[in-house]
């Protein structure tokens, strides 16, 4: 059985969604701190890559462009959430 990376991360972090039960939700609040660390870590790496999207080295530029596209997609997703208020 092969486990997906996202499933592995979820298992390692634990629940971080609201359940309406203060006993479970308290732990979810704590786990959100770990989610924040992970998201910021990944975002920083994507930003570092994206800043090299105009590199003269083809593979560096390709990774930079793909990272930039991912960041743009994430921004659009956040903007979509903001628009649904």
Q: Bigger pLDDT: 32 or 81? A: 32
Give the per-residue SS3 of the chain.
CCCCHHHHHHHHHCCCCCCCCHHHHHHHHHHHHHHHHHHHHHHHHHHHHHCCCCCCCHHHHHHHHHHHHHHHHHHHHHHHHHHCC
Is residue 85 pLDDT above 80, yes or no?
A: no
With a cut of 80, say whether residue 2 has pLDDT above it: no
Cβ 13 vs Cβ 31: under 8 Å: yes
Mean pLDDT value of segment 42-71: 97
Share the mean pLDDT of the chain: 93
């Amino acid at each position: 059985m092969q486990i997906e990376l996202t499933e592995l991360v979820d298992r390692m972090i634990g629940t971080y969604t609201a359940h309406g039960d203060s006993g479970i939700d308290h732990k979810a609040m704590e786990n959100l701190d770990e989610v924040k660390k992970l998201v910021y870590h990944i975002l920083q790496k994507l930003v570092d890559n994206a800043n090299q999207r105009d590199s003269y080295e083809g593979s560096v530029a390709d990774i930079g462009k793909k990272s930039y596209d991912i960041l743009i997609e994430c921004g659009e997703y956040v903007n979509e959430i903001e628009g649904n208020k």
